[in-house]
Structure 1
């Protein structure tokens, strides 16, 4: 019989100054070898719950705490965070705060060294091998990409060989292939080494493929804890809470919202979807099908308009000098033209050069060679502040843009600095356009992740730049908030000429982008429509990317084209069914 490694009994916690508790009478048990996902919308209490596991609550984050936490059979009361961390490894959502040493090998070895383990170096090397970072062991941490830093934070926790490993958003900032590798590492730790794994996760496809059970958080309470298939088949309940099951599961539910029997559960991946959809004979109601077809018929007529060039890059290279005085190339001979009205997605694996390319356009970085023009202005070497009215760069972490004490002042700051005559009018317009009116007097740093992202976009759009550049705009957002962000991105169309995003979120790319630029090792290796890019599996593998579930399902079902949205898939599946029925009748 498996032992209980973690137990919570009646835990309630309220942050200082808060009127309502963020955790309400929470009780749960985790057994040795469990692989559990904690899900819930932003603000439901997921991260707060997991901070109780290693004593951060109540020992570090003070507040009103009641209840009991038992770790490996011993009460956590009176035990320090340092003591509990021997058993409970933790990778935080703001993982960069866990990186404390200058080089990769020093950082990964730091914790076991700090605890006095004689084999601290060997522990670090083993953790780097597990996370695929051995080749960068001697690099400086600041030289790593965001995804590599996330892997290093995980390696640092693995170096202590903890009994339980908790990861808050394990695939944030990782390209799809590296994200899959992370989960393969976690599966190996779980299956081969008996580690108990807890992930806070918004990506349901990873939950479906790797987790054993799911805890649903709702308004600070545990709504239920179920086996993964039963949990993800609760489509209607999850959607009501703004939580999105895998696309394959939702597609099956849309075609068959009332299963034939209580025992029937929906498919969770494309292979299961192939068997499920082939066996289904029920048709979508005519009115639903018409609704989807109507949506697909909405084509923007503006595509016919002549598009002028907004950004032109010719022979652009970018290198930086390492601490060893050697030149490290980041971008090589980039030729690129971005046009007015385009919605452009920059995709590629970690370290491909996406962020660097955008920083060149914004003037944050200076090219080592070649020329960069924005709206006809040569920006090589121009100070970034002089370009803010032409190109706005929105950082990966929106809180880095906040310097004032309320949202209204944040939006007004750059306008005031530039002495824009209609400043007050613009601020009000941004508050309304980005649905920030009720938050205008709130401190932006205290808002939710989705709200912070809206504020950062409003700040950038307020100066009415020609091009808006967004670095990983959906990082650390739940799926419901991501869907909301897609609508916000559409709002940007009326304020800027061209929008460029660098992202690993293939679903966002599939739903939003009109043009996709694929980068690999500092070069552009493909540039085209999403239909062309996503149909090239070899290209996606080379760039560390992957098709979405719906794209894979389109392929395994033999649909005539790759489907990027649920509506597109439903219509294609129904049209194919009608065609098969027609030929069968003939």
Structure 2
């Protein structure tokens, strides 16, 4: 057993102004060389727990603190944040607040320079190289995409060469390929350099592939700490808390449940694709080909109302060196009423910029853009707000009041909408914010802030709703709830478009997918067309979901996008209905899917 680096003993903490402790009698020990994932639903205390590791609690957040925290042999109460930060690198959920210098290289060397390290330049250059940011080292931070800024924040933490690296949602705004790259870096730091890695993570597939152990937080307490496979096999416990294991694990669990042979304590389920492939290949089942559905018939765009028309749209901005930097380079796209549009692509592809153009927040430098029948020329953002609602990638950018209820109410009253109070209360209830309505949105967890931002946009009920990374920082249960919310929006909004890296959300929700790369649209079609083109996904920096990949590995007659689809193929012989669904199979399927 390696030496303990983090030792928490009976720690409790309550934020100022709150009656309920966010941490309650927490005891936890992490050792040198651990790679630990901290999981839990939004508001369970994950981020607050990690703020103990570098002394932010009790030094910066001065609430009611009890217990003892020892970090790398030093008591956090008697050691300053500055002292502990030499040992603990931290990348926060609101990582942009860590970026304090104008250019990329200036920012990454800022901390080692201020600590007086003679090799501060070499440290910064090495960290940028590891993050793949060397080619933008002289760029201004404001010109980077959200994902690039996240990489820069991680590079800044790495430049100090800490013993412990804590990352709150390390891949929340990264495309799947960059996300995999980040975890490969963390794995190398852990295995080759002995770094202790702690991640707060909602993506169970990455936990399965990279983490050694899992800590479950529930209502401010540490429920347990277990090896990764044992933790992720605790399906019923996790689902009961709104936490979703990897799709392959859920599929195996449902397979067992379908056979009325749920795993007893200690039974381990597959957590990787290769394990899942062996699991289902070994099952004595009959594939139910009769459940294959034809792709839905898509209404011809010509008979639908055009709500957005973009023709050869270009967007560039002038750099500090007075050179024009292109962001969008000749985008041609038309959006119609009734569509659920997902705009996908790698970091820096231009997704957010296109949404901001449609919302009127920025103006095109070339081409023609018409939104809801109005040309953007001469239209102010204030006038466009009556037609288009844009929900920012960083939700705190939308907060101006001191309570959640006032945040939602501000925009409703500003637009002089009818039945204002009834509308506000309805939205608060729909987004599970009633219990938080008197809290300052800035003090909520990242996932809770996201829900507030979405509630603000939904309350206005515009013609067009634009969501930039709507599921970033959300636990998987809240992401599933988002599917319901997005479906509800269809009755109030003509068109919904989202920019996202969440391929599961895209697969289950979108009726149309637009793929962007380097400022242009490289594909536009239904999910069956997009996700079956592996070369296209690779070019756009995207990866299929675990379930899609498992469908291919098993040679299923079609790619499955949901567990419901997948389980309909892998059924026991006695439930199989090759010629169509019988009563027994329908009853069983309802029983299975109700669990999720």
TM-score bracket, normalised by the shorter chain, equals over 0.9
How far, CA to CA, are the matches of 1:100 and 1:280 in structure 2?
56
Aligned partners of 2:108 and 2:124 also within 8 Å? yes
Instruction: Report how far residue 412 of structure 1 moved.
Output: 4.0
CA, structure 1 residues 20+459, in 2 after alignment: closer, same or farther (shift >3 Å)? Answer: closer
1:375 corresponding residue in structure 2: 372
Unaligned runs of 5+ in 2: 580-596
Aligned partners of 1:363 and 1:381 also within 8 Å? no
2:534 corresponding residue in structure 1: 537
1:362 maps onto 2:359 in alignment: yes
How far, CA to CA, are the matches of 1:327 and 1:3 in structure 2?
53
1:279 corresponding residue in structure 2: 282
2:273 corresponding residue in structure 1: 270
CA, structure 1 residues 420+217, in 2 after alignment: closer, same or farther (shift >3 Å)? Answer: closer
CA, structure 1 residues 45+283, in 2 after alignment: closer, same or farther (shift >3 Å)? Answer: farther
How far, CA to CA, are the matches of 1:312 and 1:358 in structure 2?
13
1:524 corresponding residue in structure 2: 521
Instruction: Report how far residue 263 of structure 1 moved.
Output: 4.9
Alignment of 1:207-218 (within 5 A): 207-218=207-218
Output one character per residue of 1:93-129: Cα deviation in whole Å (capped at 9) or x when no partner. Answer: 1111111111111110010000000000001011111
1:230 corresponding residue in structure 2: 230
Output one character per residue of 1:481-505: Cα deviation in whole Å (capped at 9) or x when no partner. Answer: 1111111111111111000000011
C-alpha RMSD of matched pairs (Å): 2.7
2:544 corresponding residue in structure 1: 547
1:49 corresponding residue in structure 2: 49
How far, CA to CA, are the matches of 1:399 and 1:260 in structure 2?
43
Output one character per residue of 1:490-521: Cα deviation in whole Å (capped at 9) or x when no partner. Answer: 11111110000000111111111110000000
1:392 maps onto 2:395 in alignment: no
Instruction: Report how far residue 91 of structure 1 moved.
Output: 0.7
Instruction: Report how far residue 579 of structure 1 moved.
Output: 8.8
Output one character per residue of 1:199-237: Cα deviation in whole Å (capped at 9) or x when no partner. Answer: 011100000000000111111111111100100000011
Output one character per residue of 1:517-537: Cα deviation in whole Å (capped at 9) or x when no partner. Answer: 000000000000111111111
Three-state SS of the structure 2 residue aligned to 1:527 is strand
How far, CA to CA, are the matches of 2:124 and 2:132 in structure 1?
12
Unaligned runs of 5+ in 1: 582-586
How far, CA to CA, are the matches of 1:20 and 1:406 in structure 2?
18
1:333 maps onto 2:327 in alignment: no
Output one character per residue of 1:392-450: Cα deviation in whole Å (capped at 9) or x when no partner. Answer: 11111223222234445434434443444655565465456556566555544455545
1:185 corresponding residue in structure 2: 185
Three-state SS of the structure 1 residue aligned to 2:369 is strand
Q: TM-score, normalised by structure 1?
A: 0.92
Output one character per residue of 1:459-484: Cα deviation in whole Å (capped at 9) or x when no partner. Answer: 33444322111001111111111111
Aligned partners of 1:371 and 1:380 also within 8 Å? no
Alignment of 1:138-157 (within 5 A): 138-157=138-157
Three-state SS of the structure 1 residue aligned to 2:284 is coil
Output one character per residue of 1:289-314: Cα deviation in whole Å (capped at 9) or x when no partner. Answer: 9xx97xx9899999689422111011
> Which sits farther off after the overlay, 3-12 or 231-240?
3-12
How far, CA to CA, are the matches of 2:103 and 2:226 in structure 1?
42
1:565 maps onto 2:568 in alignment: no
> Which sits farther off after the overlay, 268-277 or 205-214?
268-277
Aligned partners of 2:58 and 2:77 also within 8 Å? no
Return the match for 2:398 from 387, 398, 401: 401
Q: How many residues align?
A: 574
CA, structure 1 residues 432+79, in 2 after alignment: closer, same or farther (shift >3 Å)? Answer: closer
Output one character per residue of 1:365-418: Cα deviation in whole Å (capped at 9) or x when no partner. Answer: 111111111122111342111111111111112232222344454344344434
How far, CA to CA, are the matches of 1:385 and 1:510 in structure 2?
34
CA, structure 1 residues 578+33, in 2 after alignment: closer, same or farther (shift >3 Å)? Answer: same
Alignment of 1:44-83 (within 5 A): 44-83=44-83
1:584 corresponding residue in structure 2: none
Three-state SS of the structure 2 residue aligned to 1:574 is strand
1:2 maps onto 2:5 in alignment: no
Aligned partners of 1:313 and 1:334 also within 8 Å? yes
Aligned partners of 1:255 and 1:283 also within 8 Å? no
2:467 corresponding residue in structure 1: 470
1:31 corresponding residue in structure 2: 31
1:501 corresponding residue in structure 2: 498
Three-state SS of the structure 2 residue aligned to 1:256 is helix
How far, CA to CA, are the matches of 2:514 and 2:162 in structure 1?
41
Alignment of 1:342-353 (within 5 A): 342-353=339-350
How far, CA to CA, are the matches of 2:564 and 2:232 in structure 1?
20
Aligned partners of 2:286 and 2:570 also within 8 Å? no
How far, CA to CA, are the matches of 1:484 and 1:133 in structure 2?
35
How far, CA to CA, are the matches of 2:316 and 2:71 in structure 1?
49
CA, structure 1 residues 463+279, in 2 after alignment: closer, same or farther (shift >3 Å)? Answer: same
Q: Higher relative contact order by CA 8 Å / sep ≥ 6: 1 or 2?
A: 2
Aligned partners of 1:559 and 1:573 also within 8 Å? no
Alignment of 1:571-586 (within 5 A): 571-574=568-571
